[in-house]
């Protein structure tokens, strides 16, 4: 399989006045084109560090990270990054918020504008385009943040615990929403979460990291019968508890 993203033997340490913290140790995995991968691991095990390495904000101490497709030149132009909080600006309208990335990158062409307008329409935000973000529900804000990220047409989407600021019920709905949008737009995605259920219900593959220094403990392919086609439905499938127990055990083992 041709990989969109591959990491081989990646290690990284933070150096501070207090000394050195080994965050990741010998991490290897790859993600195929159009695949949705989830990375789970205990808090502090290096998940956010891993995403910073993938998008080139920091460089591995050893090992190698490759972006596939030949379109990327090692810069992060082809990568979209979505964070825990939506970071929408209250002084801009929803419309101006979703265009922000394009504006910064000076790519506000008529084609890009109409693509974004189409996404606002498709994903139920047109009626709110002229409003301020505070008029949106938590779920709608995350949808707007995702559209802003997709506006730049990234090849690879990185999602760092994007639902953790939401209450439980909204979280389930938004995970459904966001998962559907990412698949419809045909993107490759890497979702980082400490929520097992979220990982199992959204991803094609779950990569389990150990506690710090994070290394890959196991990689578990996830598949559900075709009828279970949304994250919410998957949570009710028989397979769900099987995967849950399997990954739970992996996480609980020390080392």
14 binds ligand ADP (CB under 6 A): yes
The nearer residue to Mg ion, 47 or 143, going by C-beta atoms, is 47
Specify the stretch interacting with ligand ADP by CB under 6 A; choose among 3-11, 46-54, 92-100, 108-116: 46-54
Distance, CA of 135 to CA of 9 (rounded, Å): 46
Min dist. Cβ of residue 48 to Mg ion (A) = 3
Furthest-apart CA atoms within the chain: distance in Å: 54
Q: Which does 46 bind (CB under 5 to 8 A by kind): Mg ion, ligand ADP, none?
A: ligand ADP
**In sequence order, what E strands does 186-229 have?**
188-193, 205-209, 216-221
CB burial of residue 224 (10 Å; 0-12, 13-18, 19+) = middle
Min dist. Cβ of residue 89 to ligand ADP (A) = 25
44 binds ligand ADP (CB under 6 A): yes
- Footprint on residues 47-66 left by ligand ADP (CB under 6 A): 47-49
Distance, CA of 80 to CA of 156 (rounded, Å): 6
Binding to Mg ion by CB under 5 A, coded x per residue (else -) over 23-62, reads: ------------------------xx--------------
Min dist. Cβ of residue 43 to ligand ADP (A) = 5
The nearer residue to ligand ADP, 42 or 69, going by C-beta atoms, is 42
Distance, CA of 116 to CA of 93 (rounded, Å): 14
Residue 24's SS3 state is strand
Specify the stretch interacting with ligand ADP by CB under 6 A; choose among 45-53, 95-103, 149-157, 218-226: 45-53
Q: Find how far residue 209's CA is from the centre of its chain.
A: 16
| Residue ranges that bind Mg ion, judged by CB under 5 A | 47-48
| Residue ranges that bind ligand ADP, judged by CB under 6 A | 14, 16, 21, 23, 41, 43-49, 212
């Amino acid at each position: 399989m041709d990989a969109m993203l591959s990491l081989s033997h990646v290690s990284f340490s933070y150096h501070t006045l207090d000394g050195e913290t080994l965050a990741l140790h010998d991490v290897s995995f790859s993600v195929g084109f159009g695949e949705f991968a989830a990375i789970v691991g205990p808090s502090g095990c290096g998940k956010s560090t891993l995403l910073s390495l993938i998008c080139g904000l920091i460089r591995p101490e050893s090992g190698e990270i490759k972006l596939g497709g030949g379109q990327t030149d090692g810069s992060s132009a082809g990568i979209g990054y979505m964070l825990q909080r939506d970071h929408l600006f209250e002084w801009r309208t929803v419309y101006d918020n979703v265009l922000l990335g394009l504006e910064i990158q000076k790519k506000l062409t008529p084609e890009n504008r109409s693509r974004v307008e189409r996404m606002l329409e498709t994903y139920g935000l047109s009626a709110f385009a002229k409003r301020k973000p505070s008029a949106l529900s938590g779920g709608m804000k995350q949808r707007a943040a995702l559209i802003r990220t997709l506006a730049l047409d990234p090849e690879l989407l990185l999602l760092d615990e994007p639902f953790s600021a939401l209450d439980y019920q909204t979280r389930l709905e938004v995970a459904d929403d966001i998962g559907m949008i990412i698949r419809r737009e045909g993107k490759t995605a890497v979702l980082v979460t400490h929520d097992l259920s979220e990982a199992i219900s959204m991803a094609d593959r779950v990569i389990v990291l150990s506690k710090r220094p994070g290394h890959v403990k196991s990689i578990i392919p996830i598949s559900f019968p075709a009828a279970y086609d949304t994250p919410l439905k998957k949570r009710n499938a028989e397979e769900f508890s099987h995967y849950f127990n399997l990954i739970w055990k992996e996480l609980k083992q020390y080392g």
